[in-house]
Amino acid sequence: MLEKVSVIIPVYNDEKYLMDCVNSVLNQTYQNLEVILINDGSTDRSAALCEQLRAQDSRVRVLHKPNGGVGDSRNAGLAMGELLAFVDNDDRMEPTNLAELVDLLERCQADIAIGNFYEFGEADQTFYFRVREEDYYEKVYTPAEWFAEEYNIHFNLSQCFTVPWGKVYKRELFDQIAYPNDRAVEDDLTTWQVYLLADRIAFMNKALNMHRKRASSVTQETNQANVYPLEAIEQRVTMMALLGMDITEELKAYRLQLKVHRDELLKSGSTNLVKYKNVVQRLRILEKAAKKPLD
């Protein structure tokens, strides 16, 4: 019997795209699924649309909660299935998304199956494809091997690494995982921890999700320090070092992120002198260790 996939969709003020998103899940060729809509205190028609979708399809469950952010919504998922997937409320799944990822998971005896994606730019109404049909390949990684792809921009691999969506997980990986509910960027603080709990991670280089790039997206934030929280990479470096993993690329990225935070603090005229000095101090420590001058 096919295992049930619980698809969790955090919802916040997305009346424009919500129906398209949810219907793309309900119309999957893989039908043993449930959709869990977490309405995060929406103030538009999203709550009513969630109820409409529940009335139309018995596979849809709805939870209404006070606004607590997307991380809080992911935590409230209450999944019943053996497998788990996430979708952003303005994105869309290709019809065979779940069927192909569940098949990949089973064939490779993996704990996580990952697919690629394409983008739709809302500003210019343009689709951006970075994976062609002839680029297809499959690969099974250990967690350490998958971490080596974290900063690989070829075929979107860097973003595939970071985001929670575009994947099918064994649900038990999330038994002790909690997304932060007080951060704008919750995925960079969490997804990598799930990888470390896995034994085998299977990747399929095929665009199975449409990711919508919107002007209001956190990744379009002008203050890049908000997009790359230092807490995330500091936790990651610490855990990787404790596990004996190679942190060479992670330290390079950490230096770059420290410089971003330093420059953003100067640019914004921040009065938080302690925060600024802490960032500069860490940069100087790394500079001393590497014997390389600061930019």
What CATH number does the domain containing 131 carry? 3.90.550.10
pLDDT at 238 over 70: yes
256 exposed, middle or buried (CB, 10 Å; 0-12, 13-18, 19+)?
middle
Does residue 180 sit in the same domain as residue 261? no
Distance CA 61, CA 25 (A): 13
189 in the same domain as 258: no
Q: 135 with 257, same domain?
A: no
- The rounded distance, in Å, linking the Cα atoms of 24 and 165 is 14
pLDDT at 280: 94
Asked if residue 84 has pLDDT above 90, the reply is yes
Q: What is the mean pLDDT of residues 153-182?
A: 90
53 pLDDT exceeds 70?
yes
Contacts of 67 (CB under 8 A, 6+ apart): 12, 40, 41
Residue 167 within any structural domain of the chain: yes
| Structural tokens at position 237 | 């470096």
Q: Does 139 reside within a domain? A: yes
The answer to whether residues 188 and 43 belong to one domain is yes
Same domain, yes or no, for 187 and 230?
Answer: no
d(CA 252, CA 257): 9
Q: Report the domain count for the chain.
A: 2
What is the pLDDT, as a whole number, of residue 242?
Answer: 97
Do the domain assignments include residue 92? Answer: yes
Helices 248-267 + 273-290 axis angle, to 10: 150
Same domain (yes/no): 100, 201:
yes
Q: What is the mean pLDDT of the chain?
A: 90
The answer to whether residue 295 sits within a structural domain is no
From 199, 220, 241, give the residue that closes a domain.
Answer: 220
Residue 86, domain member (yes or no): yes
Average pLDDT over residues 163-181: 89
Asked if the structure places residue 268 within a domain, the reply is yes
Q: What is the pLDDT of residue 184?
A: 63
